[in-house]
Structure 1
Amino acid sequence: MPPLPRLPLSAVFPPPPPPGVAGDPGVCVPGGAFQRVSAERAVVLGGPAAILLQVAHPLVAEGVAVHSDYASGPARRLLGTLQAALTIAFGDTEQAHAIARHVGAQHARVRGTTRRDAPGTPAGTPYRADDPDLALWVHATLVWTARRVAQRYAGLVLTPAERERHWQESKPFARLFAVPDRVLPGSVAEFDAYWERTVAALVVTDAARSVARDVLTQRTRPPLPGVAALARSVTADVLPPHLAHAYDLAPTPGRRVAAAALRGGLRTARPVLPRALAQWPHAEVARRRVRRAPSPDPSPGPAALP
C-alpha cells in the first residue's frame, strides 16, 4: 500500500475568501453567537471528534467507507471541510451558496445500501448523503463540537440565551446542506434532547474505527512528533465517554494530563492574544465587508419633476 499523503504545515491555516460584496452580511448573523464561536481558531481541535461522531452513525460510516477518500487523504478532507465551514460562516451570500453547491454536488453521488449488519441497521439498508435526517446529524455534530471546544479550550462560555441564539443562527448553515425546517429542532432545548437521544443510539462499527485510525494519524510535512498523541488526547476529552471508549480512546491518565495542559494553556493565553491570532482571518474579512458601504447603484433614478 503506498504511503498516505502528507500536507505542508501551511495547509492547516486556510486562507480567507476574497472580500466579497460590500455590505453583504452573508447567510449567518454578523457578529452573532454562531460567528463568535466559529471564529475561534481553537475550534479546529474538535475536527477529529466531529468526524468520529458523524461516522458513529452506521449509515454515515458506510457512506464514508464506500464513497469518501479519507483513507487516501484524511487530513486533506478535514481541512476541506474546515474551509467550507468557514466560508459559509463568514463569506458573502454568493460565496456561501457556491461552496454549498459544490459540497452538494459531491454528496449527490453518495448513495447505496449497507454491506454488513450493524445493531439497528441490517445489511441492505439504503442510505444517501442528502437524506434530511443524516444531514441533520452531521450538522448537529458540527454545532455541538464547536460549542464544546470553544468553551473548554477557548474559555468562551455561552449563557443560556447565547446558546439559544447560537442554535438559531446555525439554521441558515444547516439549510444550505439540505436540512429542511421540518427536521430542525425548534429550540436549543429541543436540540439538546435530540442530541442525547441520538448519541445514546450510536454504534461504532469497524468502518467507523477505520476512519478514526486514518483521521488521527499524523499527516503534516515535516512530521511533528507528539501531534497525533495530542490529537487523540483532545478527541478523548471532547467525545462523550462511551464513544471515546468504543473508539479505544479511553481518557487514560496520560491523555487527561495532556488535554488538561492544553486546555489550561489556551484558556490562559486567549484573553491576551491579539484577535488576529485567536480568530480565523475569515472573521476579520467578514467584519470589514459588512462595514463597507455597497457601491452606488449606477442605474439612473426617476426623472426629476419639472
Structure 2
Amino acid sequence: MPRLPRLPLTAVLPPPPSAGVVGDPGVCVPGGEFQRVSAERGVVLGGPAAILLQVAHPLVAEGVAVHSDYTSGPAHRLLGTLQAALTIAFGDTEQAHAIARHVGAQHARVRGTTRTDAPGTPAGTPYRANDPDLALWVHATLVWTARRVAERYVGLVLTPEQRERHWQESKPFARLFAVPERALPGSVAEFDAYVERTVAGLVVTDAARRVAGDVLTQRTTPPLPGVAALARSITADLLPLRLAVDYGIAPTRGRRTAAGLLRTGLRAARPVLPQRLAEWPHAEVSRRRVRASPSRTSAGPGGTAG
C-alpha cells in the first residue's frame, strides 16, 4: 500500500479570495438562496458523497481513474474543488471566470475511451470531461448534496420557493463549465427528476470503489481518530441506499447512530454559532464587496476595495 500524502489541519480552512472589484456582484445572485446554502461551512460534509455520485457514472470514473490525482492526494484534490466552488459562488466576475478557465483547461486534457465493460457502457466508449452531459451531472451532484446537507445537517429550512430559487441561482455556475441552457432542467422539480433518473442508471465500478476508498481515508496531520469512520457514516446517510451498499458503506445501525448524533448536534449548535464560525469567510468578503460604493474608495476601474 503506497504511503499517501497527508494534509495539515490548517488546510481545511481555505482562505477567501481578495476583495475583488468594488460593487461587482459576481456571477451568482448576491444574498440569494444559492449563496445562503453555499456559505455554510457544514455543507462540506457532503463533499465525499458528491464525489461518489460523480464517479458512479462510468465515464466520470474512467476519467478520474486515468487522469486524476485522487490516489496521490485525494484530500488535496477535494480541497482544491472546494476552493474553486467557493470562488465561483462568492468571488467577483473575473475571479469566478478565472477559476472556471483554470478548471476548464485541466478538463480539456481529460479524454479517452473506457478500458473495461460496465453495464450500459461497453469498453471503447469515448469520454471527455468537458462533455456537456457529464458537466451537468457533476454540477447536479454538487447542488443536490449541498441542499441535502443544508437541510439535513445544518438545519436550514428551504420552502419549495426557496428550493426553486436555489436551483435557478445555481445555473450561472453550470454555464461557466459550458453546460448549455438547453441542457439545464427548467425547474427544481425537473432537476430532482433528472437526478432520480440518472441515479437509477449509475453503476459502482471497481474504479469508482478505488476512488471511494481514497476519498474516505483519513489524511490529516496530526491524524484525527474516528474521522474516517464518521465520514463513512455521513456519506452512507446522504447517498441513495443502493449506491451506499454497492460502495460497501451500507448504513448499518452504528453508522445510522453516528450520523444521527452528528445531525442532532449540528442542528442544535447552528443557531448559536457566530456567523464567522458558521460561514465560510468568502461569504462576508462578497457581502462587503457588493455593499461597497466605488465612489467611496480610491480604487479606479478594475480596482479593489481596500
Match of 1:152 in 2: 152
Partners of 1:233 and 1:177 lie apart in 2 by 31
Match of 2:231 in 1: 231
Distance 1:242 1:298, change over 3 A: closer
Match of 1:111 in 2: 111
Q: What is the one-letter code of the residue matched to 1:79?
A: L
Match of 1:290 in 2: 290
Partners of 1:290 and 1:49 lie apart in 2 by 32
Q: What is the one-letter code of the residue matched to 1:200?
A: A
Match of 2:42 in 1: 42
Match of 1:184 in 2: 184
Match of 1:96 in 2: 96
Alignment check: 8 A CA contact 1:22 1:295 kept: no
Structure 1 segment 74-89 matched on structure 2, within 5 A: 74-89=74-89
Partners of 1:136 and 1:157 lie apart in 2 by 26
Q: What is the one-letter code of the residue matched to 1:158?
A: L
Shift of 1:294: 1.6
Alignment check: 8 A CA contact 1:236 1:244 kept: yes
Root-mean-square deviation (CA, aligned residues, Å) is: 1.1
3-state SS of 2:127 partner:
strand
Partners of 2:192 and 2:223 lie apart in 1 by 39
Alignment check: 8 A CA contact 1:16 1:285 kept: yes
Q: What is the one-letter code of the residue matched to 2:283?
A: A
TM-score, normalised to structure 1's length? Answer: 0.96
Shift of 1:182: 1.4
Match of 1:131 in 2: 131
Partners of 2:227 and 2:101 lie apart in 1 by 34
Partners of 2:300 and 2:208 lie apart in 1 by 55
Distance 1:298 1:201, change over 3 A: closer
Match of 1:278 in 2: 278
Shift of 1:82: 0.2
Partners of 1:290 and 1:46 lie apart in 2 by 28
TM-score, normalised to structure 2's length? Answer: 0.96
Partners of 1:294 and 1:244 lie apart in 2 by 50
Q: What is the one-letter code of the residue matched to 2:168?
A: Q
Distance 1:298 1:183, change over 3 A: closer
Alignment check: 8 A CA contact 1:37 1:150 kept: yes
Partners of 2:285 and 2:120 lie apart in 1 by 46
Match of 1:31 in 2: 31
Alignment check: 8 A CA contact 1:54 1:137 kept: yes
Partners of 2:24 and 2:300 lie apart in 1 by 18
Match of 2:304 in 1: none
Distance 1:71 1:298, change over 3 A: closer
Partners of 2:177 and 2:86 lie apart in 1 by 14
1:252-289 Cα deviation digits (max 9, x unpaired) = 11101100010000000000100100000000000000
Q: What is the one-letter code of the residue matched to 1:249?
A: I
3-state SS of 2:112 partner:
strand
Partners of 1:250 and 1:44 lie apart in 2 by 21
Match of 1:197 in 2: 197
Q: What is the one-letter code of the residue matched to 1:81?
A: T
Shift of 1:177: 1.1
3-state SS of 1:89 partner:
helix
Q: What is the one-letter code of the residue matched to 2:132?
A: P
Alignment check: 8 A CA contact 1:270 1:278 kept: yes
Structure 1 residue ranges (4+ consecutive) displaced by more than 6 angstroms after TM superposition:
296-299
Shift of 1:298: 6.7
1:81-106 Cα deviation digits (max 9, x unpaired) = 00000000000000000000000000
Partners of 1:166 and 1:115 lie apart in 2 by 38
Runs of 5+ unmatched residues, structure 2: 302-306
Partners of 2:294 and 2:78 lie apart in 1 by 35
Shift of 1:178: 1.4
Alignment check: 8 A CA contact 1:104 1:177 kept: yes
Aligned length: 299
1:207-244 Cα deviation digits (max 9, x unpaired) = 00000000000000000000000000000000011110
Match of 2:214 in 1: 214
Distance 1:298 1:264, change over 3 A: closer
3-state SS of 1:70 partner:
coil
3-state SS of 1:127 partner:
strand
Partners of 1:249 and 1:86 lie apart in 2 by 28
- What percent identity do the matched residue pairs reach? 84
Shift of 1:2: 3.7
Partners of 1:8 and 1:219 lie apart in 2 by 9
3-state SS of 2:181 partner:
coil
3-state SS of 1:23 partner:
coil
Runs of 5+ unmatched residues, structure 1: 300-306
Partners of 2:2 and 2:249 lie apart in 1 by 27
